[in-house]
A and B are shown apart, each in its own frame.
Chain A
Amino acid sequence: MIIDEEVFAVIIAIAIVTSALGVSLSVLPRRGEPFEAIGLLNEKGLIGDYPSVLPANSTLRLNIYVYNHDGKAELFMVKIFIVERGILPSNTTWLNTTPVDTLLVVLSDQGNSTLPFEARLSVPPGQYAFVAELWRLEPTNSSFIYTGRWVHLYFNVTAPLG
């Protein structure tokens, strides 16, 4: 043989490893852990610089970011609440009050969307919490299921201007 047998064995070993890696990456299904995400963005659609003090009767403007990593298309509902400071959902329990608004969005796998939201704050001065919960439509039983994902923002409402 023109090439050394040991060199040939190394080349064959590299070919076997490359082949196994190629088969596992291209043929076998890749199943990462499915998850969905919700994020809170400011009026300009950026992280940070959130409103903390707002006069009564002014408009609260925010953006909600939703990301789908479930491995399939999903229909999400974002339930928005404006509640007294301290009343928050958890990963397993949602707020048992009527939302002030709901936003619907359909996302393909690994898709994301930024949903604008605004509400006029006709509330007396005080401390409030903006809460957005992420719900997912379950097609098998035609109902929305709480994903356990939520975001919140505390803000103070002061006396109206003028």
Chain B
Amino acid sequence: MRVNILLVALAAFFLASALLVVHPHALSNEALGIMSDVLGKIQLLESRKVNVSDYVRMLDEAAREYQVCARSDGQSCDEELIGKLQALSEELDKAIAGSESTYYVYVARKVAVGAALASIPIATYVLLPWLISYAWLRTKAKWVVLPRGGRKNDNR
């Protein structure tokens, strides 16, 4: 009796799982391949210090639109997604072609900042005594030096 109840419960559970009213969808291999390609290009650009926020947003929008489409009809969604991804991939190829100069500028800027920061102790060692001497002279430039005792011995 218990076994029967258990079997009925199990059957009811699996039936119920099948009845959940949500539409799962899976990317086709072609769409997944292009999506991986696009993501790989975005990551390559990112490693070259190019701002990829626009490309990330475009890929995210394409993925979200695909999901909306797949939930509604699910027929031509893959083709639409592939079309958008191919257009994005072409844009990324152009960006990759021009990304090396961006990377060199980034490296040059880093080196310049590093050199400037590294020169702080040397600059301090060389310039600080001079600056203090200069400031000392400037602040005391109008001072009148009098002999000890002031005007006491002035005979005019």
Q: Which B residues touch A105, using CB under 8 A?
A: 60, 63-64
Assuming the contacts A2-B136, A3-B132, A73-B46, asked whether A124 and B110 have C-beta atoms less than 8 A apart, the reply is no
With CB as the reference atom, state the residue of chain A lying closest to B135: A2
Within 8 Å of chain B (Cβ to Cβ): is A161? no
Asked if B129 contacts A8 (CB within 8 A), the reply is: yes
Residue contact A142 to B33, C-beta cutoff 8 Å: yes
- What are the residues of chain B within 8 A of A2 when measuring CB–CB? 129, 132-133, 136
Cβ-based interface call for B6 (8 A): no
How far is the CB of B41 from the nearest CB of chain A, in Å?
9
The answer to whether A22 touches B56, judged by C-beta atoms less than 8 angstroms apart, is no
Write the chain B residue with the least CB distance to A68: B56
Chain B contact residues, majority secondary structure: helix
**Interface size, B (range):** 35 or more
Asked if B17 contacts A23 (CB within 8 A), the reply is no
User: How far, in Å, is B58 (CB) from chain A's closest CB?
Assistant: 9
State whether A108 touches B136 (Cβ < 8 A). Answer: no
Pair B113/A19 contact, Cβ less than 8 Å: no
Q: Tell me the complex Cα distance, A11–B128, Å.
A: 9
Known: A2-B133, A3-B129, A142-B32. A75 touches B59 (CB 8 A): yes
A7 to B71, CA, bound (A): 73
Would you give 8 A-B contacts (Cβ < 8 Å), ordered by A?
Answer: A19-B120, A19-B121, A26-B117, A107-B56, A123-B17, A124-B13, A142-B33, A142-B35
| Contacts A73-B55, A107-B60 known; 15 new A-B pairs at CB < 8 A | A1-B129, A8-B128, A11-B128, A19-B117, A75-B63, A80-B22, A98-B24, A100-B22, A101-B22, A102-B26, A105-B63, A123-B17, A137-B35, A137-B36, A142-B35
